[in-house]
Structure 1
């Protein structure tokens, strides 16, 4: 692990915040690092307010989108709500369709089949719309690059409204309205919304025309918070407000579908981490293993008993998904070994029968072993399809762009992308991708980095300190859970390995003049020798609560140890 200590923030700002907020120096310093410099900014950070959401009409084409939907309702047209099969897409479709249906009956949903149609808007979906007399399609979490598909729909007199958040190409489709804050000529103040977030801005605009405000739309925020967490967009600005209130809805008044999942996992209060690692994989499993429509059915169902049945189906898909990704990961690691590719700067693996629904997860798993840009390919029809994942700091989207001569189609983000290519181009692509990465990556990025917010003393850690840190939540990119470093530590003599195969480390640490505090280090069992014989060492950790036999105490969640 590479330890990187964040630069110290401006000390005048820290002192000002300390005095203005009546907080300890470490708290003021953490706030300043997050760009908070005034009392007002701190108040907005600690007390998110729905009133601080931006006016949706600041988004380019929003007025056109609203007028076209109002016209469709006035003329009794059939509206098709179309979205991708992942969490962002299915939550966005659930949000948009349930809002429209609360006002108007002629609304249906369409999720493309991951295997027959692939990502995004498909010709098949447009043919379905034509066959069933839909004259308006609202596309969510996809469409910004579907120039040919939108032209095809135009020939059939089907209008499109696109709600997307992916990077546009040089040209955008000729749709009635294109809502995407990442368009260079869109002046919307917040650029990092997810697809479901853009969908929410559209229903916010529609509702405002009926005299409703954002408070009236709170029931939809559980969907938005789930999409924000699952799509790994920054939890800053508007996203943080939406996630904050969305979590409140999940925990106090969840829709029937969420309630059914929560009943299965038997957890009382869900954090954004639970949403990412517990709810999102289940929703995703539908599109991965069967069909994304199952997720939409679950998330739009209002009857709790029926939702329970849907949730059980999805739980079964998730169990199958776990088994598949475990098996494929083993096979992929073996392939890297067999091909003698451990020393490359990229992992590119392919097997024709790997399950297309889990190759993205497998790519992430491979990065846990070989920390480098990774692509996992499988056969998809007469082409090969891949999921790409990257390491922190390296833009895999740009690297793929440099290999465009070998690729049929690709799209995505800096850290995650998807592509298709012809089988005969696979080897040439594999070599080119390795060359591009070798030429462009900073070699330091190939060692996992722990970014440390600041160094503190163990005596800085108190119940009050932890209580304030908890109010920094919800955590995520742009507002990560604080990570600390302390040095001159020693174990009090009770350190030991615990868990299956003694993989984990449980120690109690002290500094001179501090009280002892318990630490758990998952996957750090091999560091036991470092802490033996009263050795002094440094630790990187986050602060956590541990509940044991009804007692709650603070503990350190170790990330790494060094001499």
Structure 2
């Protein structure tokens, strides 16, 4: 029996305009000659605003020299002055590295703690308990710091909205250096320094760093001020790459440089803990961003979702292989438990939507169940969007409050929509596509109504249909090992630098479609114009098989990849969608 497709099976194809202005045509011709590539590949580069030989060299060969001056970030001078003051031999202040419990937070803590401990012995780290303390700077964490003699806290991936908590800490004699990348509110915390490229008064040239990326910039500035060779810092980029991938930040500009080198270290000399995690995840070939998003990130996250995220930091800091293997296996076990919670809660959530006419017709989804596991509600929100393509918030009960995770669809800013409902919330924070919040349980119905009103007013109809962004039409005759090799060099791929997706019209079946594991589709196809035949695989596209008939033309959109099987390498199309 073939699995039934979700309601959001119908997808909207949009093809980017071919770069055809006079300037673009000149750029394509210039790149074709200077790089020795086809005009098709040159057009693909021009689409991504790579128009000169120098820009192409920077794009294909990112260099650490392309990283921005960390002191261009507002308050960086204040942050370094406060950090160095704490480290003075006559002061030897106790420094606490405090981070959120997700991948970005735990990698940030592991990065800053593991580097600074080489230069300061009075240092420790703290991860709040997801269930007892909640998101961000907690009162419990501040009290623990004060009771244990810490006078400086470096907060990573959180703190930008912790006005009250930072004030409480200051009253207890504890200073803060905040390293965050979330949107600030109208007021900033009264900290020794607030590092956040999204501050309105911050002129830092790149705004999309992860929390771990902001932590890296702090360490970069520390190295410059202390005349420490930056080569000592760069091996820690393996952690930054994991944070960039897992936090779904744009893979452009500085993030692309950080991810490029982070992947190099991950694939050559990963830290002991990540090496153990790679092993339990079952990866045997070179890792890419997708492997981090779906393989390493969820396992690191699982520690905080199921028990306590401190286990993730312990894994990332492990020095012996034996210790790392023990932590990695425990975290992998947590990840298996997380999958079970995720699967059962997702099914409950989907049933709630399907059984309600109001929820089925709505432009948004807001669901609440007091028994749902707080650690997986963000994942469940993403799963619901796969079936009902619209902004989604999943709520559960935590410490007598309703705690929620929001996820959005491309083109719609869920953070702004939540901000319009702020009067019903106790706290909230996040990004364009993901956010978290807490509210009184009694406010859920009012929040659901207001959020639906805001979304209905703001969202465009096209945002409610899954989008496939196609780069260029492609003839099968153009598909070659060289094309795949050059396209691969355009990575690391991620938001705003996605792997190229192509479209070919007028293709035909060469043989009967093959259904794999009742869910996946495998077809051999020929393009009538070129006569070339290729194999195409579509995960989750088994339902399309019934639409395909011998002699009946159809269109496909896909990515071109190499297929490794039994020691052989062949070209293969990874189908995104089929239109008959």
Both structures adopt the same fold (TM-score exceeding 0.5): yes
Counterpart in the other structure of 1:353: 371
CA offsets, 1:254-283, max 9 Å, x none? 111011112223323111110111000000
1:89 counterpart = 2:88:
no
Counterpart in the other structure of 1:327: 344
1:420 counterpart = 2:438:
yes
Counterpart in the other structure of 1:398: 416
Counterpart in the other structure of 1:35: 49
In 2: Cα distance, 1:281 partner to 1:549 partner? 29
Counterpart in the other structure of 2:462: 444
1:60 counterpart = 2:70:
no
**Contact 1:491–1:510 (CA<8 Å) still a contact in 2?**
no
- Count of residue pairs brought into register by the alignment: 562
**Shift, 1:157, TM fit:** 0.9
**SS in structure 2 at match of 1:219:** helix
**Shift, 1:16, TM fit:** 2.2
In 2: Cα distance, 1:128 partner to 1:395 partner? 37
Counterpart in the other structure of 1:123: 139
Counterpart in the other structure of 2:3: none
Counterpart in the other structure of 1:144: 160
**SS in structure 1 at match of 2:377:** helix
Matches within 5 A, 1:492-503: 492=510, 494-503=511-520
CA offsets, 1:449-484, max 9 Å, x none? 100001111101111111111100110011100000
In 2: Cα distance, 1:404 partner to 1:211 partner? 46
- Greater mean alpha carbon deviation, residues 24-33 or residues 6-15: 6-15
CA offsets, 1:289-328, max 9 Å, x none? 1111111100011111101101111011101100000010
Counterpart in the other structure of 2:195: 179
1:160 counterpart = 2:176:
yes
Counterpart in the other structure of 1:6: 16
Counterpart in the other structure of 2:271: 255
Counterpart in the other structure of 1:409: 427
In 1: Cα distance, 2:196 partner to 2:54 partner? 29
Counterpart in the other structure of 2:539: 522
Counterpart in the other structure of 2:313: 296
Q: 2:524 aligns with which of 498, 502, 507?
A: 507
Counterpart in the other structure of 1:112: 128
Counterpart in the other structure of 2:5: none
Counterpart in the other structure of 1:453: 471
Q: 1:315 aligns with which of 332, 357, 374?
A: 332
Change (3 A) 1:338 1:502: closer
Q: Which runs of 5+ in 2 are unaligned?
A: 1-10
**Contact 2:99–2:158 (CA<8 Å) still a contact in 1?**
yes
**Shift, 1:522, TM fit:** 1.2
In 1: Cα distance, 2:311 partner to 2:166 partner? 26
**SS in structure 1 at match of 2:484:** helix
Counterpart in the other structure of 2:389: 371
1:44 counterpart = 2:58:
yes
**Contact 1:495–1:505 (CA<8 Å) still a contact in 2?**
no
**Contact 1:50–1:214 (CA<8 Å) still a contact in 2?**
no
**SS in structure 2 at match of 1:306:** helix
Q: Which runs of 5+ in 1 are unaligned?
A: none
In 1: Cα distance, 2:571 partner to 2:175 partner? 56
**Contact 2:381–2:407 (CA<8 Å) still a contact in 1?**
yes
In 2: Cα distance, 1:428 partner to 1:513 partner? 59
**Contact 1:505–1:523 (CA<8 Å) still a contact in 2?**
no
In 2: Cα distance, 1:155 partner to 1:107 partner? 21
**SS in structure 1 at match of 2:119:** coil
Change (3 A) 1:484 1:404: same
In 1: Cα distance, 2:388 partner to 2:41 partner? 36
**Contact 2:157–2:179 (CA<8 Å) still a contact in 1?**
yes
**SS in structure 1 at match of 2:361:** coil
Matches within 5 A, 1:541-552: 541-552=558-569
**Shift, 1:502, TM fit:** 4.9
Counterpart in the other structure of 2:242: 226
TM-score (norm 2): 0.95
In 2: Cα distance, 1:461 partner to 1:44 partner? 25
**Contact 1:137–1:159 (CA<8 Å) still a contact in 2?**
yes
Matches within 5 A, 1:193-208: 193-208=209-224
**SS in structure 1 at match of 2:531:** coil
Q: 2:292 aligns with which of 275, 285, 309?
A: 275
**Contact 1:530–1:537 (CA<8 Å) still a contact in 2?**
no
**Contact 2:521–2:545 (CA<8 Å) still a contact in 1?**
no
**SS in structure 2 at match of 1:285:** helix
In 1: Cα distance, 2:515 partner to 2:256 partner? 37
In 1: Cα distance, 2:518 partner to 2:530 partner? 35
**Contact 1:495–1:508 (CA<8 Å) still a contact in 2?**
no
CA offsets, 1:384-435, max 9 Å, x none? 0111111110111111111122222111011101111111111111111111
**Shift, 1:437, TM fit:** 1.1
* RMSD, aligned CA: 1.1
**Contact 2:425–2:438 (CA<8 Å) still a contact in 1?**
yes
**SS in structure 1 at match of 2:226:** coil
- Greater mean alpha carbon deviation, residues 506-515 or residues 200-209: 506-515
In 2: Cα distance, 1:329 partner to 1:197 partner? 32
- Greater mean alpha carbon deviation, residues 510-519 or residues 45-54: 510-519
TM-score (norm 1): 0.98
CA offsets, 1:211-266, max 9 Å, x none? 22432212100000000000111111111111011001111101110111122233
